[in-house]
Structure 1
Amino acid sequence: MSGLGLTTSTSVLQFVPAADRVLRVVLDDGWGTLLDVLAALTGVEMLALPFMQRAYLAAVCIALIGPLVGSFLVHREMAMIGDTLAHSAFAGVAAGLFVNSAFALTVSPLLTALLVAAVAALVVQALIDHAGAYRDTSLAIVLTGSFAVGSVLVTATDGGIAVGINAYLFGSLATVSRTNSGILLGMSAVVGLVVALAYRPLVYVTFDEVGARAAGLDVARYNRLLAVLTAVVVVAAMQIMGVILVAAMLVIPVAAATSVRGFKRSVAGAVLAGQVATVSGVTLSYRYDVAAGGTIVLAAIAVYGAVKIGGRLRGPGSTGSIGD
């Protein structure tokens, strides 16, 4: 047993430098160098700042995985699950900060947020599947319960963790650390890979759940998968958006692309709208020293408004229904 423990410890120690080397290649040699070149070509100095490079990377990742998962949620009329899981993530952050404060441990609030949000996602789906609860009722129960748990944990330390939780509530460009950037990249890769592998069943379940059951698909499993993917997106976006506004990237870019014909093309349009919103929002947030999350949401609403106005100006023939 002692030999096994030594082997495990050695493996972990070997993994940490390896992960750091990968981060150095991706963040510094790849992404950092690209933005350094852009800064030199355009004269925009903020592109060369390391914390802004991490913020832009986070923005690009969020704008990719948010609309990617949100497209399935919006067309299933489950857009508000993002808000529910965001409040669950708040409880998870509070739990992590509480453990760190009360027991002098070092637990990542992002890890506890992901854990709690994933459990909450499964609870929501279980309530829908087995408790006979309507979707909106299930979401309301989990949302209010999660927020209650979070508020209790915040006050249990006499407000000692309230300062630490503010960054997660409202988001911040400065909180995107090197380690968090690596975690976000990993989470984005996982979400993208899972959606790619399960794309056809997810589309089938989204647009024809009854037909999917008749075809022998395990609908409950894909519902749970989508719920957990939503939890991952929520926690990933929380660093910049904050838990209060994180659901916006699951919904607003998708809404902007609803007039695009074809589901795949509408997803691509939603991702594009998300990229414009997040990159613009991060830039404006830095320029005017305002909250990143709120700025991104306002930019997303502006993109949505511009798309809808442009569609009206082109006439009714420019819009169409979404098909698979």
Structure 2
Amino acid sequence: MNLRRTAEFVGIGATGMLAVLMLAFVGLEWLRGYGIAGGLYDQFIFFGMWMDVYLGTNVFSHGFMWRSIATAVFIGIVAPLVGTYLVHREMALIGETLAHTAFAGVAFGLLFSATTGWDGSLLTVALVVGVLGALGVQWLTARTNTYGDVPIAIMLTGSFAVGTLLISYGRGLSGVNIEEYLFGSASYVTTGGSQLMAVLSLLIVSVVALTYKQLLFITFDEQAARVARLNVTWYNTLLIVMTAVVVVGAMQILGVILVAAMLVIPVAAASQVAHSFKETLILSVLFGQLSVLGGYAIAINQGLPPGGSIVVAAIVIYLVAIFGSSRSVSALSTH
């Protein structure tokens, strides 16, 4: 057990160091036009050139690839972090729903851009629409007498229907291109997109750290939380809004179709081998990072899209966790 905890501690430490390194890159790229930041950024790229020479690749000397990897690293942390609460609340489908809602936002932004010449951030539009969709799901769930997953299914199909109608309407207009948003792309990640993901990731990690006990309480016993006068509606809304934020950020790499995978698969793998909720949280983040790094290794080596490669890597880790688990059902502690 001590060896296991040591391995988890080392893994979390390495993940933290990697995240700090990627945050540093994003910050240097943002400030590269100001004094010493530009020199440090050039040194970062120079180091990437040496990595390419040593590894025989043509990847790490390009700023857009570091930007993409940084965004994926952030996703590998925050998606399992939020997904752990969703999976244990049997709300795994919500990620797919909000991805389709964000797709409608992108479709609206693309159509608006094509018809008016607006050149603002489509990611920001998707974020706003995704958050509004999250609030809409929460509102429907609180005010209908149907089963819990019915409002989610309605929002999932409805938002995707709106998105397809907007795309079909704007098909003949120049500038309407949705494929990269559907399937994700390493080259799609913009400077603004990586910066936004960095800021949102810091925000999500901070919120989860500050509200860990409250979110844990409503996850395992919502009725008791209400009796204890905890504002359950507020924390439910907070969780679903964080989910929308993660989905929009992850859509850059994974695309609408695959984005929900990183909310669910690392958590499912962690649940097979963890002995407590806290350990599930830790292991899901570690498995998320292994999925990201393994997926990018596959993508770079074989010239494949990173999104699909990351999800396949996550599934392999999940299967290994199943075969490596000593029990068929997890007896999960809330400690």
TM-score (norm 1): 0.86
How far, CA to CA, are the matches of 2:96 and 2:328 in structure 1?
34
SS in 2 for 1:47: coil
Q: Is the 8 A contact 2:292 2:310 kept in 1?
A: yes
Alignment of 1:114-133 (within 5 A): 114-133=127-146
CA displacement at 1:175 relative to structure 2? 0.8
How far, CA to CA, are the matches of 1:320 and 1:72 in structure 2?
16
1:264 is matched with 278
How far, CA to CA, are the matches of 1:23 and 1:77 in structure 2?
47
2:256 is matched with 243
Q: Is the 8 A contact 1:32 1:50 kept in 2?
A: no
Question: How has the CA–CA distance of structure 1 residues 159 and 268 changed in structure 2, closer, same or farther, with 3 Å as cutoff?
Answer: farther
What percent identity do the matched residue pairs reach? Answer: 42
Alignment of 1:30-69 (within 5 A): 32=44, 36=48, 39=51, 42-43=54-55, 45=57, 46-69=59-82
Question: How has the CA–CA distance of structure 1 residues 166 and 23 changed in structure 2, closer, same or farther, with 3 Å as cutoff?
Answer: farther
How far, CA to CA, are the matches of 2:33 and 2:78 in structure 1?
20
Which residue, 20, 26, 33 being the options, matches 2:30? 20
RMSD (Å) for aligned C-alpha atoms: 2.8
Question: How has the CA–CA distance of structure 1 residues 266 and 289 changed in structure 2, closer, same or farther, with 3 Å as cutoff?
Answer: same
Residue 143 (structure 1) aligned with residue 153 (structure 2): no
Name the amino acid aligned to 1:267: L
1:9 is matched with none
Which residue, 188, 192, 212 being the options, matches 2:225? 212
How far, CA to CA, are the matches of 1:129 and 1:110 in structure 2?
28
SS in 1 for 2:256: coil
How far, CA to CA, are the matches of 1:90 and 1:249 in structure 2?
17
How far, CA to CA, are the matches of 1:285 and 1:228 in structure 2?
31
CA displacement at 1:90 relative to structure 2? 0.4
2:301 is matched with 287
Which residue, 312, 316, 320 being the options, matches 1:298? 312
SS in 1 for 2:275: coil
Q: Is the 8 A contact 1:32 1:53 kept in 2?
A: no
Q: What are the ranges of 5 or more consecutive residues in structure 1 without an aligned counterpart?
A: 1-16
Count of residue pairs brought into register by the alignment:
305
Question: How has the CA–CA distance of structure 1 residues 60 and 26 changed in structure 2, closer, same or farther, with 3 Å as cutoff?
Answer: farther
Post-superposition CA distance 1:3-39 (Å, at most 9, x none): xxxxxxxxxxxxxx99932898599649946963982
SS in 2 for 1:48: coil
Post-superposition CA distance 1:127-166 (Å, at most 9, x none): 1111223221011110111011101110111344686211
1:111 is matched with 124
How far, CA to CA, are the matches of 2:43 and 2:277 in structure 1?
30
2:324 is matched with 310
Name the amino acid aligned to 1:262: S
Name the amino acid aligned to 2:318: Y
1:165 is matched with 178
How far, CA to CA, are the matches of 1:80 and 1:194 in structure 2?
22
Post-superposition CA distance 1:77-105 (Å, at most 9, x none): 00000000000010010011011011111
Question: How has the CA–CA distance of structure 1 residues 160 and 209 changed in structure 2, closer, same or farther, with 3 Å as cutoff?
Answer: same
TM-score (norm 2): 0.84
Name the amino acid aligned to 2:291: A
SS in 1 for 2:245: helix
Question: How has the CA–CA distance of structure 1 residues 34 and 197 changed in structure 2, closer, same or farther, with 3 Å as cutoff?
Answer: farther
Residue 93 (structure 1) aligned with residue 125 (structure 2): no
How far, CA to CA, are the matches of 2:117 and 2:53 in structure 1?
48
Greater Cα offset, 302-311 or 225-234 = 302-311
CA displacement at 1:185 relative to structure 2? 0.5
